Amino acid sequence: MQYGYFDDKKKEYVITTPRTPLPWINYLGSEDFFSLISNTAGGYSFYRDAKLLRLTRYRYNNCPGDVGGRYYYIKNKDEVWNPGWQPVKTELDHYRCRHGLGYTVIEGEKSGISAALTCFVPLGEHCEVDRLALTNHTAKPQTLTLFSLVEFCLWNAVDDASNFQRNFSTGEVEVEGNSIYHKTEYRERRNHYAVYAVNKPVAGFDTDRESFCGAHNGFEAAEAVFEGKPRNSVASGWAPIGSHCLEVTLRPGESSSFIFVLGYAENLPEKKWSAPGVINKASAQRMLAKFQTDVQVEEALTALGTYWEDLLSKFRIGSEDEKLNRMVNIWNQYQCMVTFNMSRSASYYESGMGRGMGFRDSCQDLLGFVHLIPHRARQRILDIAATQFEDGSTYHQYQPLTKRGNTDVGSGFNDDPLWLIAATAAYLRETGDFGILQESVPFDNNTEKAQPLLEHLRRSFEYTATRKGAHGLPLIGRADWNDCLNLNCFSDQPGESFQTCSNFESGRAESVFIAGMFVKYGTEYAEICEHLGKTEESSRIRAQVQKMYDTVLDAGWDGEWFRRAYDAFDAPVGSRECDEGQIFIEPQGMCVMAGIGVKEGHAAKALQSVKDRLDTEYGIVLLQPAYTTYRLNLGEISSYPPGYKENAGIFCHSNPWVSCAEAVLGNGDRAFEIYRKICPAYLEEISEIHRTEPYVYSQMIAGKDAPRFGEAKNSWLTGTAAWNFVNVSQYILGIRPTFDGLCIDPCIPKTLSGFTVDRICRGVRYRITVDNSAGVQNGVRRLIADGIEVPYRIVPYAVHKKDCIITVIMG
């Protein structure tokens, strides 16, 4: 069942009913100010940090699940409705939501009155602009009363949701004409405030939630709206809101627009006040002045559209598969941008209150983003590296506002350091900017302990190389990529965090997955050293990588697949010796991507075992058989019911690793089959089962052991987006930058007759045509660049050129 359709020409997903299985959302903003918006106008806004500088309130785990947002109520005589249906839920005569790139348009119609709400965050501004256009389609003049509503968060989202004994006494606002200023805590330690304004004269306002709603009502039955009478309330303590009331008269066929702006402003400490107790509003007023007319709004929307058109031109495919085209050209890259901005910190599933920017997460997100805006990727690498400790280990996350690491979810995840090498190597291949390696970067944000970035990479490598267990495999520490495989936790108390408690620090548990990473990213580190002329260092690294390669084939091989780990008692995890959890997905993907066991035939066996034992119609499950009892020695992974999350759910993040691995072996049909099974555009017709948005990836899908097999959860902010773009662009389409040139080595289904790609890399647009009239899965018979045949499938980077024409003939 579908709840909408793709409009590829406009780069939109059009939702045709407000009753989607879950809120289907969009992200507004790509710099400092961000908003989340659902298809019913729900969501929240924040400046830079969703925990520390949140402008509007959102209630997580609520019932229903999407309450609070930017609401516009239209009162037409005794009838009250919203263009996005929520919160009043009056049945509409027409509804449509168009989620586009950085904007959303929600259209509703009732009793001859139509409303079109356009929401976006303008480039370079710290605000959300909402333009509401009302049109009278009846034959008579219509007089309407329009109410706006946002509910202000008291800045710190955690404190706002918990510290009621204080918060019910702190709310403060100022009202000046058609502008409402939220200034809670401005009188003391804050120098920032929020503004919510409209460009037309108002008939009244409200800033106190209880006055607006009534003591016993929610937003769906706000007394001021249904009575058509604003209270002109000024919040003092209690819960501050922003609501404008406007009287609107429309002649037959007439339209009128109203421009609402929700913004963030801050002042220098010495310029906080314009008069005693009156905030200095100059910066806010300058911002509001930019969005007073439809012309100004249209200009900002055009600039936003140009911005995204420019970005998405960096990689563009043309093929006979329209779903492949729309994912590669639009939605996958768009999601990569959002995950780069947010990491895992702010969504409808990650509240933005507990997690900051993940170290591992941000490194992986960069893999799918680096081609879009390389200079931002560069700065992100430096920010991430600055949270590393001197011994090479890292904080597991940091706050985007302060860029300082924190231990809210613990530390000692032993895969983290190697991801820094992965991210830096990807940046170097994309840009050739080896100067970044000489940038001075602090350890633990202490500038007195700064070292060149290259030294950070060396310590990342050495951290793993010097911490091995009894089998010669890397120690897992708190956990590796699978946060829920807690081999040193041994938690038996309800409520303990599996990520921070340590009741049994064995110092023995080992990870085959990290060993695969060590081989893959250790090799990339060696290549960096070779490029710098550090041949002795490179040889030393390669020797250690080879030793780990051999160790994996010895201690990490189970006969038909790669083992997952060894627990605190040296017992194998992910082995036929286990009664449950005999085979895991992660090492099969990572080890084969690293090339381990390819020439020995083990890689092919491992991937066949994945197909035989882990594959399902909705994707590859993380492990089998699922754990049916809690295992003290394994931790959180066995705490979930079978088929959910890490206990045999379909973890979409690790599915593309297996697709990449199949491409390494040249299996184009199988690589694409895996890609297609979790790709949202291919799942649109089963949205009643899948439930999350059909235009972005989700974190996981319930596995075959679950009662709700095929149901997705936790959409948007997942490493799935970056890894699937790496998979489809670099492994399946086979276009990947190397240190010395652009490698073109497709591994595609034999039914795909060919494709074209425009790929901008290092300032040159490579116009690539791939001819697969031979109907093969892999193999390049000829590669011609600007009329010259090129051996070895690598086109040297063009110098002093703007375009390079490449023809690839497979066979």
| 669 in Cβ contact with 718 (< 8 Å) | no
Catalytic residue list contains 483: yes
H or E stretch at 708: none
How many H helices and E strands in the chain?
Answer: 20, 45
Q: In the sheet where 764-771 sits, what is the strand order?
A: 315-318, 754-761, 764-771, 803-810, 780-785, 788-789
CB crowding 147-172: b at 16 or more within 10 Å, else e: bbbbbbbbbbbebbbeeeeebeebbb
Q: Smallest Cα–Cα separation from 522: which of 549, 499, 555?
A: 549
Tokens for 676, please give them.
């297609």
Residues 6 or more apart in contact with residue 378 via CB below 8 angstroms:
427, 431, 433, 436
Kindly name the residue from 49, 483, 567, 745 that is annotated as catalytic: 483
Tokens for 2, please give them.
């579908």
Tokens for 517, please give them.
């990473």
The answer, yes or no, to whether the previous bond of 83 is cis (omega within 30 of 0) is no
Cα separation, 703 vs 656, in Å, equals 16
The answer, yes or no, to whether the previous bond of 737 is cis (omega within 30 of 0) is no
Cα separation, 356 vs 398, in Å, equals 5
The answer, yes or no, to whether the previous bond of 374 is cis (omega within 30 of 0) is no
- Positive or negative, the Cα torsion across 713, 719, 722, 728? negative
Cα separation, 507 vs 509, in Å, equals 6
| Long-range own/partner contacts, residues 270-275 (CB < 8 A, 24 or more apart) | 272/186, 272/191
| 385 in Cβ contact with 359 (< 8 Å) | no
Cα separation, 179 vs 198, in Å, equals 7
Crossing angle, helix 668-678 and helix 655-664, to 10 degrees?
170
Pairing outcome for strands 764-771 and 803-810: parallel
Largest separation between any pair of C-alpha atoms in the chain: 85
In order of 515, 576, 607, 644, the CA distances from 624 in angstroms are 21, 11, 14, 12
Q: Is 99 exposed, middle or buried (0-12, 13-18, 19+ CB in 10 A)?
A: buried
| 406 in Cβ contact with 398 (< 8 Å) | yes
In order of 53, 469, 572, the CA distances from 632 in angstroms are 39, 20, 15
For residue 706, how far is the Cα from the chain centroid? Answer: 26
Cα separation, 61 vs 66, in Å, equals 9
Pairing outcome for strands 179-182 and 315-318: unpaired
784 DSSP β-pair partners:
789, 807
Cα separation, 733 vs 728, in Å, equals 6
H or E stretch at 226: helix 223-227
Residues 6 or more apart in contact with residue 205 via CB below 8 angstroms:
175, 180, 230, 232, 233, 242, 243, 244, 245
Cα separation, 41 vs 24, in Å, equals 10
Q: Which residues are catalytic?
A: 483
